């Protein structure tokens, strides 16, 4: 009865977790109990007092308290015995395996070793219940697993896994040659996943070109494909100017062996000033994606556009794949393009008056020029060399006097236009009041207060208008 029913228990084990599967085996085990060396309330078997020493077998012997576990006592003893048996199975990571050769790139070999060992022991097969014994207080279970049998089972499993993985690998190679990058990566990853329980081993696979380590070849296939994909632009740098309102675009092309790659996800990022801007897109049938640039902050003179292939979007399977750790440090195609923002140039056409008479000093013009220079905006002496024309007209008038004080009011109009006459900004300063002990100083005070107004809100609005 042992020979016919032990495989039934093994089939239950292969459906799930070692310890979870044990619960499913309890009913079968109870049946086996009467046929596999049962010794209830009789003479204590030797294997309880002295553990057998069998170099050919893995052995698990354990007990459970009837008082503590009641009807589940034998099931608990079985779980413990099989857990002890499984603990004797050792997993060796071979020095040339993919796990060993990649753990130094940031992958923790120990965690993979534990995972491989867990997978091997959870799927136990070929073991048998040798004996069961119970007395008034406890129940014992005795399991053994022939090492040669277990090794044969592992080899059969590995051969089956290699066959499935090899199919995915061949499919990935075909997709790679056809330029179907997404399907190729998916096939390579599936190949790695198929061999997860064997990552610590050398997994040889016979191809038309000879024998290869299959999981290593799959990882190398992804790496090679990433290195063969090229992202390129028609320009090595970008120059944005006021004439284009600091907006621009650049075309990025994705190629593989001089073939255009369509539907390739690309992600890009650049600094607008103090804040970054990110976006993404996909290449069209010509292998191109257009990247737009805009919304730069006032005063920004330099930036950099960083473009990269979006591997997570290209192969969504990676996110939940157990092979993801192998790809953590995988370099992906990328490039950087410097961006230079040329400051606008302004020509001043200003007239400043006091009570209708032109002033020698140009306080308002100088205040605007100083503020613009601080923001990187240049002003020029020649109108034809300018991007913008700033027209300023200001004048003061007498207000009133009394108690030895005199009041003057200043009004000014500022109009900023492009060379073609397109208005950019219009601002007015209305009734800026100056009070002092003479008419002359009152008018001067009005101009002084107007310069303070210009250096504050007025200049901020002016500079912001240049980048909109």
Range of the structural domain that residue 213 is part of: 153-225
352 with 437, same domain: the answer is yes
pLDDT digits (tens, 9 = 90+) for 166-176: 999 999 999 99
Q: How many domains does the chain have?
A: 4
Q: Do 310 and 248 lie in a common domain?
A: yes
* One domain for residues 131 and 172: no
Helical (H) or strand (E) element with 86 = helix 73-87
Q: Are residues 11 and 102 in the same domain?
A: yes
Give whole-number Cα distances, 369 to 362, 380, 410, in Å: 11, 10, 20
- Tally the C-alpha atoms within 13 A of residue 416's C-alpha that lie toward its C-beta: 23
Q: Single out the residue in 128, 150, 172 at which a domain terminates.
A: 150
Coil, helix or strand for 70? helix
Instruction: Assess whether 427 and 352 both reside in one domain.
Output: yes
Assess whether 75 and 206 both reside in one domain: no
The CATH code of the domain that includes 254 is: 2.60.40.10
Together in a domain, 381 and 404? yes
In this prediction, residue 77 carries a pLDDT of 95
Bridge-based pairing of strands 259-260 and 248-256 is antiparallel
Instruction: Supply 296's token pair.
Output: 């730069």
Which tens digit of pLDDT belongs to each residue from 383-420?
888 888 999 999 999 999 999 899 999 999 999 998 88
Q: Are residues 140 and 218 in the same domain?
A: no
pLDDT bracket for residue 18 (50, 70, 90): very low
Please report which confidence band the pLDDT of residue 10 belongs to, taking 50, 70 and 90 as the band edges. very low
Report the CATH number that the domain containing residue 165 is assigned in CATH.
1.20.58
Is the domain of 65 the same as that of 135? yes
CA–CA dist 51, 88 (Å, integer)? 14
Let me know whether 460 and 352 are in one domain. Answer: yes
Spatial separation of the C-alpha atoms in residues 145 and 34, rounded to whole Å: 20
Q: Is 459 exposed, middle or buried (0-12, 13-18, 19+ CB in 10 A)?
A: buried
0.85 surpassed by pTM: no
Q: Please, what is the average pLDDT of the chain?
A: 85
CATH number, domain containing residue 437:
3.40.50.10610
Residues 82 and 17 in one domain: yes
Structure tokens at 347: 């020509």
For residue 122, what pLDDT band results from cuts at 50, 70 and 90? low
Domain boundary among 341, 362, 387: 341
Nearest alpha carbon to residue 66 among 138, 158, 156: 138
Q: Which of 150, 183, 205 is the last residue of a domain?
A: 150
Phi/psi for 57 (5° steps) reads -130, 155
* β partners of residue 336: 306
My answer on whether 350 and 327 are in the same domain is no
Quickly list H helices, 294-386. Answer: 311-314, 363-374
* pLDDT tens readout for residues 23-53: 344 344 443 444 444 555 678 899 998 889 8
280 sits in which H/E element: strand 276-282
Q: How confident is the model at residue 445 (pLDDT cuts 50, 70, 90)?
A: very high
């Amino acid at each position: 009865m042992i020979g016919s029913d032990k495989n039934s228990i093994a089939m239950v084990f292969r459906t799930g977790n070692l310890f979870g599967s044990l619960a499913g085996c309890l009913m079968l085990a109870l049946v086996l109990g009467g046929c596999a060396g049962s010794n209830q309330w009789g003479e204590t078997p030797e294997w309880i007092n002295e553990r057998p020493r069998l170099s050919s077998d893995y052995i698990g012997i354990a007990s459970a308290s009837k008082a503590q576990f009641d009807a589940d006592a034998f099931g608990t003893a079985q779980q413990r015995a099989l857990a002890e048996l499984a603990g004797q199975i050792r997993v060796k990571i071979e020095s040339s395996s993919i796990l060993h050769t990649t753990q130094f790139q940031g992958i923790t070999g120990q965690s993979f070793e534990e995972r491989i060992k867990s997978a091997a022991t959870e799927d136990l097969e070929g073991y048998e219940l040798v004996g069961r014994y119970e007395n008034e207080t406890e129940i014992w279970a005795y399991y053994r697993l022939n090492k040669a049998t277990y090794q044969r089972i592992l080899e059969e499993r590995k051969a089956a896994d290699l066959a499935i993985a090899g199919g995915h690998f061949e499919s990935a190679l075909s997709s790679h040659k056809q330029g179907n990058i997404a399907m190729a990566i998916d096939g390579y990853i599936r190949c790695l996943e198929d061999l997860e329980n064997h990552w610590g081993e050398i997994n040889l696979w016979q191809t038309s070109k000879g024998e290869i380590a299959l999981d290593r070849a799959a990882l190398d296939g992804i790496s090679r494909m990433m290195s063969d994909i090229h992202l390129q632009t028609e320009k090595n740098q970008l120059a944005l100017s006021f004439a284009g309102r600091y907006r621009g675009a650049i075309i990025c092309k994705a190629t593989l062996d001089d073939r255009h790659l369509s539907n390739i996800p690309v992600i890009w990022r650049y600094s607008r000033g103090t804040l970054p801007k990110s976006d993404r897109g996909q290449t069209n049938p010509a292998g191109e994606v257009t990247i737009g640039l805009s919304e730069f902050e006032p005063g920004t003179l330099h930036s950099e556009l960083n473009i990269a292939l979006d591997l997570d979007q290209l192969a969504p399977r990676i996110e939940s794949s157990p092979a993801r750790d192998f790809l953590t440090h995988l370099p992906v195609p990328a490039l950087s393009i410097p961006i230079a923002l040329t400051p606008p140039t302004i020509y001043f056409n200003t007239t400043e008056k006091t009570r209708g008479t032109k002033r020698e000093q140009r306080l308002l013009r100088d205040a605007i020029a100083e503020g613009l220079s601080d923001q990187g905006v240049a002003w020029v002496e020649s109108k034809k060399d300018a991007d913008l024309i700033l027209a300023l007209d200001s004048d003061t008038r007498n207000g009133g006097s009394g108690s030895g004080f005199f009041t003057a009011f200043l009004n000014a109009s500022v109009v900023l236009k492009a060379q073609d006459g397109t208005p950019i900004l219009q601002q007015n300063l209305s009734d800026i009041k100056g009070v002092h002990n003479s008419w002359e100083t009152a008018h001067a005070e009005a101009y002084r207060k107007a310069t303070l107004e210009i250096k504050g809100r007025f200049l901020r609005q002016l500079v912001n208008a240049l980048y909109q």
